[in-house]
Amino acid sequence: MLSLIQNEWMKWWTMKKSKIVLALYVLIAVGLVIITKMNDFDMTRSEYYTLVSTILFGLLGIITIVFTAETVGNEVRYDTMKHLLMSPYSRMMIYFSKLLFSILVMLGQFIFIAIITYAASFAFSEAGDSIQWRDTVFSLVSPVFTIFMTLFFSLIFRSVGMIIGFTVLAQFFTSIAGNVLLAFKPEIAKWIVLMHLDWSMYFKGALTYGTAEPMGTTLTFSVIFVLAHILVLFGGSILIFQKKSYL
């Protein structure tokens, strides 16, 4: 499996977009430092870190969809999937290599964002609240779920554009529906999984603190609910990949 992951890494790193994405993270982090300094905005390290990390982790979610969709979609697009399936590796091993690679690439970008944002925050004063690393860790939940969701759709659709479009639209409209229901029917909103991807909402000091109160849910409920959906997507992906013909 290691050789499969190494092969995925070489394909990913040779793409121009991989370097462009990393440069974009740096540009946004540094650019916001320059903008705040030039306009004399009164901002602390914690406020800067929270603002920029929220923006970049949101961007990471979209980029994760693109990169994950391409791990399977490009194999079909360039007609290399059938050659991969004729290799000595089993379908399970091929699927797990793509899953693990997607998680590693996302995790690498996540750590990169946290490091550059933390480093750039030293341009501001340390007054006020300290940086909440707990919220940073909880920010991992959403991109991890996105990977499983995108891989599931990538095994249903053959076009990379369809995979990306359907995943983005599914998250966008489900999120809107969830927020509308949160305002009018919170007892229904709690059954939408996207409402449970931000676990920091259960802790004081977080931007989303109190969101769970109208739904009447707990951290345990959210963890189990998200894991249950991941298992369903994971099981469905394996079943589809085992049965689907790419010849």
Provide Rg for the chain, Cα atoms.
20
Amino acid 125: pLDDT: 80
Confidence at 74, pLDDT banded by 50, 70, 90: confident
Q: What is the DSSP string of the chain?
A: -HHHHHHHHHHHHTSHHHHHHHHHHHHHHHHHHHHHHHTT---BHHHHHHHHHHHHHHHHHHHHHHHHHHHHHHHHHTT-HHHHHTSSS-HHHHHHHHHHHHHHHHHHHHHHHHHHHHHHGGGSB--SSPP-HHHHHHTTHHHHHHHHHHHHHHTT-S-HHHHHHHHHHHHHHHHHHHHHHHHH-HHHHTT-GGGGS-GGGGSTTSTTTTTHHHHT--HHHHHHHHHHHHHHHHHHHHHHHHH----
Amino acid 209: pLDDT: 78
Amino acid 127: pLDDT: 66
Tens digits of per-residue pLDDT, 174-212? Answer: 888 888 888 888 889 899 999 999 898 898 877 777 888
Tens digits of per-residue pLDDT, 111-157? Answer: 999 999 999 999 888 766 777 788 899 999 999 999 999 999 988 88
| pLDDT at residue 247 tops 60 | no
pTM score: 0.90
C-beta separation of 115 from 36 below 8 A:
no
Confidence at 246, pLDDT banded by 50, 70, 90: low
Amino acid 219: pLDDT: 93
Q: Which domain holds residue 10?
A: 1-243
Amino acid 39: pLDDT: 83
Confidence at 235, pLDDT banded by 50, 70, 90: very high
**Averaged confidence pLDDT in the chain:** 88
Amino acid 160: pLDDT: 82
- Residues 31-40 have a mean pLDDT of 89
Backbone angles phi, psi at 35, to 5 degrees: -60, -45
Number of domains in the chain: 1
Backbone angles phi, psi at 29, to 5 degrees: -60, -50
Amino acid 191: pLDDT: 93
